[in-house]
Amino acid sequence: MSEIGRMVAAIDPAPHTPQQGQGARELLLEIVATPVKARRRARWPVLIPVAAVLAAAAVLGVAFLPPDAPRGIAPPGALAFQRSGDDWIVTVKDLYADPGRFEAEFKARGFDIRLSIGPGSPSAAGQVTGGEFSEGASRIEEESVECESPGGRCTVSFRIPADFKGSAAIWFARPARPGERYESAGQADATGELLHCVPYRGMTVDQVRAVLAERNGSIEEFRVGKASEPARQVPGDWYVEDAAPTAPGQVLVWAQPDRVTLTPEQTADVKKMMAGCPKG
């Protein structure tokens, strides 16, 4: 599926259940994202294959100099551009570069493209987590995306037409560094996440806390009630309804005093997540 319109799919960075109400997801976004990025994610909750976005970054090599840098010395570009027929192949050389560097390097090539790369949970790293394209914007295709492992180092490349028209804004998730909060998060039991291979929905808070401790993790905070109100602590015999990664080693947990009943959709999702996990 090379066309952006066919590759974009809805993304739900934090799992939620009917009991959580309409505001649960917004609450999670406020927790796991910086103020600016949180607003952006709420506006553009889409998932584009990573490579598709990489194509959008196919333009340039201009770099910024620190104020005290010697004249005539320029730092390496954050993006690498290689011509391929009628297209540019753009590889992100510095996943931790400031968005302004990406924008300036694209602008130097005559492209109105903004690329913002922020910390994501292990299962989200290597994913395009949001995007906005102007009407009639040129086609963008993915070239390659390779991550060493869930949460490991990623190499990202995009393919973009040399005559790209219109404008584009793209958000990409990279591995988080120690101390960073996630701007994008996958499901808490996805591959690479703290609760992978743990059927945690329906377990007690104490049981989930014990599993997390064995994996050097902890519960950062709770959400309770239909309004998903924040709570620092809840009784250990309450039941875990859902969870979402918020930062390396931490998860946000929805908990309730009553036993959890999963919907058919949730049951199917749990089965999918547990596929390939050790039995018993």
The pLDDT tens digits for 74-99 are 456 889 999 999 999 999 888 888 89
Cβ atoms of 243 and 237 within 8 Å: the answer is: no
Q: In Å, how far are 56, 223, 246 from 158, measured between CA atoms? A: 6, 39, 28
Distance (Å, whole) CA 122 – CA 143: 22
Binning pLDDT at 50, 70 and 90, where does residue 30 land? low
Sign of CA dihedral 277, 269, 209, 25: positive
Q: In Å, how far are 26, 98, 104, 247 from 77, measured between CA atoms? A: 36, 12, 10, 29
Q: Identify the pLDDT of residue 2.
A: 35
What residues contact 192, with CB distance under 8 A and at least 6 apart? 121, 122, 123, 149, 150, 151, 186
Q: How many CB atoms lie within 10 A of CB 275?
A: 8
pLDDT, average across residues 211-239: 97
Binning pLDDT at 50, 70 and 90, where does residue 240 land? very high
Q: What letter would DSSP give residue 277?
A: S
Buried b (16+ CB within 10 A) or exposed e, 55-88: bbbbbbebbeeeeeeeeeeeeebbbbbeeeeebb
First to last CA, the chain: 39
Q: Which has the higher per-residue pLDDT, 131 or 280?
A: 131
pTM, two decimal places? 0.67
Q: Identify the pLDDT of residue 171.
A: 86
